[in-house]
Structure 1
Amino acid sequence: MLSIKLPQIFDVHQVPKVFWEDGIISGYRHPHSSALDCVLSSFQMTNETMNIWTHFLPTWYFLWRFVILCSTLTSLSDSYTWPLLVYMLLICVYPFTSSCAHTFSAMSAESYHICYFFDYGALSLYSLGCAMSYGSYMMPDSWVNSWLHQHFVPIAVGNSVFCTSLSCYSRFLELQCPQRSKALRTAAFVVPFIFDTVPLFYRILLFFGGGSTDHLSNHCYHLLFAVLSCFLFTSHLPERLAPGRFDYFGHSHQLFHICTVAGTHFQMEAVLADMTSRRAWLTAQGATPSFLGTFGALVVSLTLNLGIIGIFSAPLLRKPRNHCFSFNPST
């Protein structure tokens, strides 16, 4: 009978320091795992298993919503729907890329960094998708056709390049300056988030000033989960309070994944509602998205981000094998 032997797992002091996570004591995979071992490890309990599944399963939910959306559109040539299509595509890409990064990051110290380079690149593209949808469907009435509205997507492309560059660079500081590395990585994602949500913040201020309340509840839920996600990402709670207690279930990165997915769900519902309810008014204002400002911007951003990932990956790929981090499971 065919039998499959699951990979061995290790404690924190049995793996190189580059793999260490704050407050996580056990459940580490072999730091030179094969691709097959990485896949098999997703079906055993390690400290990465829930990280893999909390983004892999939502990928299929978002993909299902994307397929349903495409089937309901009367024509894919309708330029008004293009920002939505780009956004929906990217909310499928970022959790899938994250799941793959967590799955295959144990192949080597170099792959550990490169996998997360791609993860950061996918999140940067997601921020661009948010900017496209916000700029196309959520811009306050008084801002439509303004300078900011016309340049919202080009600035977002620049933000995506900034995000990927700074977050990838932060990984090279992780061992020597962990606090600076975390601060730079957090800033890399907070800056695009703040820029993307400027129109939303303004609409919320209008609401408190007596303006329209259309669809703001889902937006507020999204912002709540975004704040929780940032807190969990930076605090490493609860595992820092009780090291070893949350190695497999309930540590901050798992909760971070759950909050990001929940926030994206509410954001998606808000985008769909605004896109439908404001169509007639936005079209009448001549605020019709262009091919260059949607798919063109996506291609440009994708090309630039892949180039950045290649630049940061090159020195790791050129590193001789005998310079890799040593591994002694008996220590």
Structure 2
Amino acid sequence: MLSLIKLPRVFTINQVPKVFHEDGIMSGYRHPCSSAKECVLSLFQLTNETLNIWTHFLPTWFFLWKLLTVIFVQDEWRDPYVWPLLMFLTSCCVYPLASSCAHTFSTMSVRARHICFFFDYGALSFYSLGTAITYSSYCFPEKWVNSMFHWYYIPAAVFNSIICTGLACYSRLGMPFLHYNCNTIRSSESFSPKLGKSLRIVAFAYPYLFDNIPLFYRIFVCTGDGCTNNEAIGLHYQHTSMAFLTGFLFATHLPERLAPGSFDYIGHSHQLFHVFAITGTYFQMKAIELDMTLRKQWLQMHTQPIPFVNPVGSALLSLALSLSIIYVFSLALFSTTDKQKRDKKK
């Protein structure tokens, strides 16, 4: 069937505008003015984005299955103790789906590329908040439960998620928004992506490090009574290791930086980044579930019941503010390109 369909052509790095360039990736680029149909068809041919898409699209369905299992099969959604887990699982469905969609449709135009990744960044900030909600509910060391830091942890995480979205979106404003003719895909734009990349690293690392303060204290620093050393610690070590590995891959562009052109289709850093990120999320989910089960009796005795507005309200507030930020940056993107078009005509 697919042999009867004409698949889109792929290009080399010298044939696409610089905004589409990836460090160390020399070929396998899609047309920068692809139609939506061509973007979908590219899922079934080997390009430098194909595995980026599938490594996040397929896990989305696993996390969705897990979420629906908790809601409909285990029928635990009526228990307020489970609500933070539901928020976390929802965020685990949202961020890989947003990422796969961003990678799929990012070659429709320069505008589409930026807007697609705006939503990708918003989904990642939502995931960071989902992590904080579950950590606050199930993973805090006993010494810190009901402390001042514990009380202000979720409000701070909401604020951090907004900073994450805003800073990550802002990091793309340094990239070119120049209009170009889609009939000719060559472009002479010049820009320095290093600052934007550095801002994105800060945008993602900052909420991650804050969210994990109680976990880092628990597994690396705390000793003696009140440190909550249980069977979940091993899983926490695993997902923490995966998180640092994904950050390393995102920042270094290894291995393709060492051998440009050798990992264009399979094995480049962004593919590995996706794989390790999803694997880390899986270990994180298992660790949270184990903490949730093993600590339920103690937590219910020593903490107040979780109100519905705490996990759900925080998530909805963060989501609404992130969408507002994406809207503002999208308007800025359109106004910038429209101004550049008018200046070009003069």
Band of TM-score, shorter chain: over 0.9
Where do 5+ consecutive residues of structure 1 fail to align?
325-331
In structure 2, which of residues 215, 220, 224 is the aligned counterpart of residue 205 of structure 1? 220
Change (3 A) 1:242 1:321: farther
Q: Residue in 2 aligned with 1:289?
A: 306
CA distance in 1, matches of 2:221, 2:232: 13
Amino acid at match of 1:282: L
The C-alpha deviation readout for 1:224-279, integer Å capped at 9, x for no partner, is 00000000000001101111100000000000000100000000000000111111
Contact 2:76–2:82 under 8 Å retained in 1: no
Contact 1:218/1:267 (8 A) holds in 2: yes
Conserved 8 A contact 1:136-1:287: no
CA–CA separation in structure 1 for the residues paired with 2:162 and 2:222: 33
| Aligned counterparts, 1:186-197, within 5 A | 186-197=201-212
Gaps of 5+ in 2: 176-189
Work out whether residues 238 and 280 of structure 2, in 8 Å CA contact, stay in contact via their aligned partners in 1: yes
Q: 1:75 to 1:244 in 2, by over 3 A?
A: closer
The separation in 2 between residues aligned to 1:185 and 1:235, in whole angstroms, is 13
Structure 1 residues 243 and 140, CA gap change in structure 2 (3 angstroms): same
Q: Which of 288, 295, 313 is residue 271 of structure 1 equivalent to? A: 288
What are the Cα deviations for residues 107-142 of structure 1, in whole angstroms up to 9, with x where unaligned? 000111110000000000000000000000011111
Q: Distance in 2 between matches of 1:14 and 1:144?
A: 57
Return the match for 1:240 from 254, 257, 260. 257
Structure 1 length normalisation: TM-score? 0.93
Task: State the partner residue of 2:61.
Answer: 60
Task: Give the conservation status (yes or no) of the 8 Å contact 1:282–1:288.
Answer: no
Post-superposition offset of 1:61:
1.2
CA RMSD of aligned residues (A): 1.9
Matches of 1:166 and 1:238 in 2, distance apart? 27
1:305 and 2:322 aligned: yes
The Cα of 1:74 is off from its aligned counterpart by 4.0
Per the TM alignment, residue 208 of structure 1 is displaced from its structure 2 partner at its CA by 5.8
Matched AA of 2:308? F
Aligned equivalents of 1:165, 1:252: Cα separation in 2? 25
3-state SS of paired residue (1:28):
strand
SS of the counterpart of 2:60?
helix
CA contact (8 A) 1:207 1:213 kept: no
Secondary structure (helix, strand or coil) at the match of 2:89 reads: helix
Letter in 2 for 1:162: I
Counterpart amino acid of 1:122? A
Structure 1 residue 214 and structure 2 residue 231: aligned?
yes
Distance in 2 (CA, whole Å) between partners of 1:288 and 1:233 is 39
Q: Give the equivalent residue in structure 2 for 1:27.
A: 28
**Matched letter for residue 287 of structure 1:** Q
Q: Distance in 1 between matches of 2:219 and 2:76?
A: 33
Residue aligning to 2:134: 133
Alpha carbons 2:7, 2:42 under 8 Å: kept: yes
- 2:267 matched residue in structure 1: 250
Letter in 2 for 1:233: F
* TM alignment of 1:307-322, pairs within 5 A: 307-318=324-335, 319-320=337-338
Residue 67 of structure 2 aligns with an amino acid whose one-letter code is: F
